[in-house]
Amino acid sequence: MKRINRRRFHTAAITSAAAVSVGASTAAATNKSNALVAGAAETIVTPAAKGTFLIGPMKPSTGVNDDLYARALVIGDGQVRVAIVTLDYLGFDFGYTKVLVDAAAKAAGIPAERVLLNCSHTHSAPLTAPWGPWKQHRGQPFHQALPKKVAEVARRAAENLRPARLRFRREPTQIGFNRRLFNGEKIVMAPNPKGAVLPWVDVLSLERSDGKPIAVLFSYAAHPVIIHESSTLISADYPGFAVQHLQQTRGKQTVYLFAQGCSGNINGFPLKGGIDAAAAAGRDLGDAVGRAIDRMEDQQVQASLRHHATTIQLPLQAPPPAEVCRELMESERQGERRQRFADLVAIAEAGKPRTMRMPLQALAIGDFCLLAMAHEPFAEYHHHVNDICPFKHNMVLGYTNGLECYVGTKADYDLGERGGYESSPRGAAFMFQTRLPLAGESEQHLRNALNTAIQTVKRSSD
């Protein structure tokens, strides 16, 4: 097999992505009662350059390659106002996420249920999600600083509202690969050319009457792990480089916000390729965003903003019998793993079904719908939305308002111990504080909830 380099991968990806629909339109409120307004702001939120424990290399940082940012986009129509906040961080547990969401909501004068806090999931950032040894690294100075920074950027965005029009385009591009390959015995983390991917970038542009963008929200689905273990420098990975490229080629007057999509089973390419490779991927993504902006059409429609928020409970798998968990614990010599088995013992002895919270939000303007969900959903969930969404255009985000597990499909969970890192009982789930993966029936629960959210905002517009 020929070794795949970045150029060959990107060329092949563009070719395969050409089949993606690239229709575009504008949704801008023209009636005064529903006049759309938007404001945006950004601020640096980089933690201490040295000594910050990074998730990728699992080592303390030795410096900063590029800064991490918090960015906010506030959109309103005179009646409903929503804030989208993006962070160049890994993601957070529900408790700390609430602190950040509440800070943004209070500062912007928006109900907390209308704040979408999306994390890019860069692995060259601090370990902040409830995974592995995260408890040892809580309470750092950046934990105290982030709520104030998020509040600041949300306040500035809300204070800078101005009339806007909305335009959208889905542009083919691919800088990631499906990372779940069945090797004949089990799932391993390796490129799977037949696995689900999302070979496009979704681009939402909020523009002044003169056509100059106030903000551009763009979403792509791939783990930012192109740097990962290859460096101990803090970095936003390819999303940060994409923003840099857009600023360099299109000016810094626009706020560019990257939002992570359904990338639970997709890695940026090449995994552990290093800073230069991440910069190249960011350039490619930035170029695709630029093409999308240039190719957007100017169709005008009347539109109001509709929003729906809900939280469902997804079932977790049952643990092994308590005696089995106890035997595993007693035979384990590694301290952290022994504690995890002790947690399983307690769960098994409690004998109660367990669930995982899944916050969902839907936002619609004209013929555009944005869906956002927590955790690390697989790409198949965006494909599901494409199949059932009655709106002409959609954008689907993961990693929004909390990160505490992977969200695979029933087929993934049915593989059991052969399911690989993301879905097997002793994979990521054992590292997350839940200690248990989702149950197979969680897929249908989530599909139903997505369907309901879409139909709710659709009905409110009819």
Could you tell me the pLDDT band of residue 11, with boundaries at 50, 70 and 90?
low
How many CB atoms neighbour CB 248 within 10 A?
Answer: 11
| Three-class secondary structure of residue 364 per DSSP | strand
- The token pair at 344 is 């399983």
Tens of pLDDT along 263-278?
999 999 999 999 999 9
Q: How far apart are CA 208 and CA 189, in angstroms?
A: 45
| Three-class secondary structure of residue 150 per DSSP | helix
Backbone φ and ψ for 172, nearest 5 degrees, come out as -65, 135
Q: How far apart are CA 48 and CA 132, in angstroms?
A: 21
pLDDT at 450 over 70: yes
Q: How many CA atoms lie within 13 A of 226 on its CB side?
A: 25
Nearest in space to 264 (alpha carbons), one of 194, 316, 195: 195
Average pLDDT over residues 447-457: 97
Which ranges in 109-177 belong to alpha helices (H)? 141-159
Average pLDDT over residues 190-209: 96
Q: How far apart are CA 67 and CA 45, in angstroms?
A: 7
CB 208 within 8 Å of CB 42: no
| Three-class secondary structure of residue 220 per DSSP | strand
Query: Can you give the pLDDT at residue 12?
Result: 52
pLDDT at 368 over 70: yes
Q: How far apart are CA 251 and CA 31, in angstroms?
A: 31
CB 249 within 8 Å of CB 185: no
Q: What is the mean pLDDT of the chain?
A: 92
- The token pair at 30 is 């023209």
Tens of pLDDT along 377-402?
999 999 999 999 999 999 999 999 99
The label of the residue with tokens 């592995």 reads 132
CB 73 within 8 Å of CB 153: no
pTM: 0.93
pLDDT at 15 over 80: no
Polymer length of the chain = 462
Domain ranges of the chain: 6-304+357-411
pLDDT at 302 over 60: no
Contacts of 121 (CB under 8 A, 6+ apart): 90, 91, 223, 224, 260, 263, 376, 399, 403
Paired sense of beta strands 355-365 and 368-373, if any: antiparallel
Query: Can you give the pLDDT at residue 24?
Result: 35
- Say if residue 460 is exposed, middle or buried (CB neighbours under 10 Å; 0-12, 13-18, 19+): middle
